[in-house]
Structure formats: structure tokens, C-alpha cells
Amino acid sequence: MKIKISLNESSADFAKEVEERSGIKVRECYQCGKCTAGCPVAYEMDYMPNQIIRFVQIGARNGRP
């Protein structure tokens, strides 16, 4: 099942803001899962590292788009 996600300008603004503050290009992530697989504390997290990156990509501040 495919789900279409419509992104607006504020989504891109949020990703750009995170990139400027962190120096990491979150918009280039293609969700391979390496960050989650290699994270030693991922099992303690409510959201996995790759999920957090996806939230940023879609502009989901506080876990919501």
C-alpha cells in the first residue's frame, strides 16, 4: 500500500533549519537504516534515529507533520 505525503514549504524550512544548525544534510538520507543499526542506545529510544531523520524530512516537529 502506498501512502502519498504532501510536503509544504514549512517542511522544507524545518529540514533546512536542522541542516544549518547541525551541519548534517538530512534531506540526502534515503533511509538505509545504518544509523539505527549502529546506534548503541537505539534500543532505549522511543523513536529510532532513522525515524527522527524522516520526521525532519517531512517537517514533523514534535513527531507530527
Whether 39 is covered by a domain: the verdict is: yes
pLDDT of residue 64: 67
Residue 55 in domain:
yes
pLDDT one-digit tens code per residue, 9-20: 777 888 999 999
Number of domains in the chain: 1
On whether residue 23 sits in a domain, the answer given is yes
pLDDT at 36: 96
> Which domain does 23 fall in, by range?
9-63
In a domain, 1, yes or no: no
Q: Has residue 40 been placed in a domain?
A: yes
Residues of the chain with pLDDT below 70 are 5-6, 64-65
Query: 3 lies in a domain?
Result: no
What pLDDT, on a 0 to 100 scale, did the predictor assign at position 60? Answer: 87
Which CB contacts under 8 angstroms, 24+ apart, belong to 57-61?
A: 57/11, 57/15, 57/26, 57/27, 57/29, 58/5, 58/7, 58/11, 59/7, 59/8, 59/10, 59/11, 59/12, 59/13, 59/14, 59/15, 61/14
